[in-house]
Structures are given as structure tokens and as C-alpha cells.
Structure 1
């Protein structure tokens, strides 16, 4: 697959098939390969927590007791969605107190995640990056064992690729300005 084809064809997959599985070895290989992302000073400001398919239900029950306390419908809806996945990654960014280093870490993390999603696409694992508001809850952070200098920046849902992925034309006009 040509690089531009991979970039153009990779989409966030939002149809989650029941009882689907993914190849964990392919997943781990993609995660390791994604670390070739540019990162200033080789700080490698990323960490992922893999929630395998057989752990998704337990994770959902713990997470929703915090995120959706006293909301049984939302708890059930979350459980139904995530247990349809083939797995999930909690995406964790190492922060820095220095403004420039923090900016560089954020940019490196984005490059790492884009690499990861492209590499997953290449091995027929679909992905969708989710950033629900509860990622900022300290109790959710504790659930994923975040350290003081880390931030949960979302979840990467892992699933099958759809046969036909619609392509929405990107706006390329007026994005370049000459100095």
C-alpha cells in the first residue's frame, strides 16, 4: 500500500461487530513500530494500556461506576458498545512542566498516534480515537494508574475494518499562505 493511499483510506471505524477479535501480536507490533514517530530529545512521551477483549466488560463496569454514577442506562450503553470491540487502548501522554517541552510532547504524541492508526489500518485493524469528557476525572486517571506527570488523552477503540469506508473530501483550498 502506498503511503498516500494509507493516509487517504484510513478512517475512524465506528461500527463495532459483536464477538470480533483482533490479532494481539499484530497490535503489539504496530504499537512498537509507531514509536518511530518524531519526538524531540527522544523523550518518547507516550504509553498505552491495552484492554484486551476479555477484559473490556470488567473495565467498562469499573469505568462507568465512576463516569456515570447513578446512570444505569449510560452504564449499560457503554458496556454494550465496548464489549463489541476487539480491544481498546488507553492513550497516555507524559506531560512536562516546561511549556516548550509540553508542546513538543503533544506534537510527538499526535505523530505516534497517527503512525499507530496507519499501521493498524495496514494490518486490517480498524481504529477510532475517542476523547470522552470523563478522561479528566482523577478517579478515571487512577483506574489506568496514571502517574503525576501523565494525562489520559483518550481511548483507541480497536475493531474490524469496514468493507467500504466513505471518503469525505478534505478542504485543501486556502490552507497555504505565503509569508
Structure 2
């Protein structure tokens, strides 16, 4: 079994996936681990929504309405959720707290999404986190049933990993981003 470091270094976004997808039981198992991210106050300020089958087309309709309102190509935008058999909507469920600010709660939800993407990748699934301008659109929020204080962070597009070799990941140049002060 690879270490967390090895899994992180090996991870690649999979823009194209096959029609296979993990079932709800496997997702719950992976979420049990992903939900262990650092969570100040143990608020669990996140939830996920698995979209399969016709639900993906419903999301497409909501995205199409949002695109039309912005003057974008609604048909093209509406087809995007059909690119993977499973979409996992990542939702930050922020609420007022005397000690834990909303930004920190959003960071926890984002952390859950990232760890879940690593775990899905490690389990052999193709994964790509997609977001964009429509995550904050009222029609898209309504489709997901978001309550006040909830923010859609994007979707993990999940499916079978194609047989083709995964491209090498370019060096992210982290040394340029690192500072050490004494």
C-alpha cells in the first residue's frame, strides 16, 4: 500500500473516464477516511451529493439555464455533466460559530474533497475536480437543494480510469513557493 506522500505524488486529474464508477458503499467507505481532515470545532462543515444517471442531465439543465443567463453556449455547458458516470458535488455547510470562521469551514470542506479525490485515485478510479462560475449560480444551487450558508465548491467527475498510460506530472516548482524563517 502506498504512503500518503506516494499517493499525492502519483495523483493525476483524469479528464476522460470510462462508464464504470464506484458504488455508494465504496464512496461511503472512502468518505469515512476523507472526513478525518483537520476540523477545528469538529463541526463537519461539509456534505457530498452523488449524482448518477438522470441526475447528471438535471444538473446539465441547471447549468444550461445558468449559461443562458450569462450569454454563454448553454448546450455545450449543459452536456458537461455527462462526461462521467458519477459526479460528486462538494458542499461547504458553513454556519456562524464564535470560534471557527466561515473561511475555515470552507477550507475543511475543500480538504475533504481533496482527500476524497486522492482516495478515489488510489482506489483506481479516474477523478477530476471541476468548478467554475456556475457553482455560485442560483439555478445550480437550487438543483442541489443548497440551504442558506451552503456553498457548492465544485464536482468530482469520477469514472473508470482509461487503459492508456497516465502522463507524467510536471514539476510544480514548489521551491519557489516555500519560505523558511528563523
- The TM-score, its normalising length taken from structure 1, stands at 0.85
The RMSD of aligned alpha carbons is: 2.4
Gaps of at least 5 residues in structure 2 are none
Q: Determine which of 159, 170, 173 is the counterpart of 1:171.
A: 173
- Is the 8 Å Cα contact of residues 51 and 88 (structure 2) preserved in structure 1? yes
CA distance in 2, matches of 1:58, 1:29: 27
How has the CA–CA distance of structure 1 residues 164 and 7 changed in structure 2, closer, same or farther, with 3 Å as cutoff? Answer: same
State the match for 1:61 in structure 2. Answer: 61
- Is the 8 Å Cα contact of residues 13 and 128 (structure 1) preserved in structure 2? yes
Give aligned pairs, total.
Answer: 176
* 1:3 partnered with 2:7: no
State the match for 1:156 in structure 2. Answer: 156
Q: CA deviation at 1:150?
A: 0.8
How has the CA–CA distance of structure 1 residues 72 and 104 changed in structure 2, closer, same or farther, with 3 Å as cutoff? Answer: closer
State the match for 1:76 in structure 2. Answer: 75
How has the CA–CA distance of structure 1 residues 146 and 28 changed in structure 2, closer, same or farther, with 3 Å as cutoff? Answer: same
Matches of residues 84-103 of structure 1 in structure 2 within 5 Å?
Answer: 84-97=83-96, 100-103=100-103
- The TM-score, its normalising length taken from structure 2, stands at 0.84
Query: Which runs of at least 4 in structure 1 moved beyond 6 Å after TM superposition?
Result: 70-73
State the match for 1:125 in structure 2. Answer: 125
CA distance in 2, matches of 1:120, 1:102: 27
Q: Deviations 1:51-94 (Å, cap 9, x if unpaired)?
A: 01453223312431x21227998333234432230210111101
CA distance in 2, matches of 1:43, 1:107: 12
Tell me whether 49-58 or 142-151 shows the greater mean CA deviation: 49-58
CA distance in 2, matches of 1:5, 1:147: 38
- Is the 8 Å Cα contact of residues 85 and 157 (structure 1) preserved in structure 2? yes
Q: CA deviation at 1:10?
A: 0.8
How has the CA–CA distance of structure 1 residues 69 and 12 changed in structure 2, closer, same or farther, with 3 Å as cutoff? Answer: same
